[in-house]
Amino acid sequence: MSMTADYKLPKQRMLFAHNMKSKNTSFLSRIKLRLFGKKTTVQLEQDIHTQDAAEFGLTDVVKYRRNDKSVYVKHVFSEHLSRAVKPKITSEDINFFRALDKVEMRCYVLVYVKNPQTKNYDKAFFLDDYEAIQGIELAEANRRLSNLPQAAKTIRNELL
């Protein structure tokens, strides 16, 4: 049984994809996949350059760059949405947000939401850095919720 990313578009690449072939994985790994779903992030065309921000001590933060424009996006996975939506961010993330604000740059948070029917993270919505720290209401999160190709389009057309 082969598992691949849900959204394959021509000339595109995957940032973080947990692709598996069951014959090469342990039984425990297959159980985790069944319970927690597949975590697939947005795909962007090849003219968008990506850089992991791990050298800053940050996890799941990616710098997207096209020509002379760049933006940072933190990828956060959420099992479900509650009345007040507030992603898990660390004090290092908050300090990074503040440092970017000083140089007039932004770090957006892309929150992936697990679909209870498919058990995959196939919907997502954006928060700016202030909203990620403070949280937003469930109704607003549901209004912003979109599929992964639409989230990739947002990064490409609106953020860059």
Position 48 confidence tier, pLDDT thresholds 50, 70, 90: confident
Contact 93, 57 (CB under 8 A): no
What CATH number is attached to the domain comprising 51?
3.40.1350
- The first and second tokens of residue 124, run together, are 């997502």
Q: Is residue 7 part of a domain?
A: no
DSSP string, 117-142: TT-S--EEEEE-HHHHHH-EEHHHHH
- Exposure string (b/e) for 59-95, b if CB count within 10 Å is 16 or more? ebbbbbebeeeebbbbbbbbeebeeebbbebeeebee
Structural domain for 112, as ranges: 42-159
Q: How many domains does the chain have?
A: 1
Query: What pLDDT score was predicted for residue 54?
Result: 73
* Structure confidence by residue, pLDDT tens digits, 54-82: 767 778 888 888 888 888 999 999 988 88
Contact 118, 148 (CB under 8 A): no
Q: Is residue 25 part of a domain?
A: no
pLDDT higher than 60, residue 111: yes
Q: Is residue 77 part of a domain?
A: yes
Q: Is residue 57 part of a domain?
A: yes
Number of CB atoms found within 10 A of residue 152's CB: 23
* Structure confidence by residue, pLDDT tens digits, 130-145: 999 999 999 999 999 9
- The first and second tokens of residue 19, run together, are 């692709």
Q: Is residue 6 part of a domain?
A: no
What are the beta bridge partners of residue 51? 63
Q: Is residue 22 part of a domain?
A: no
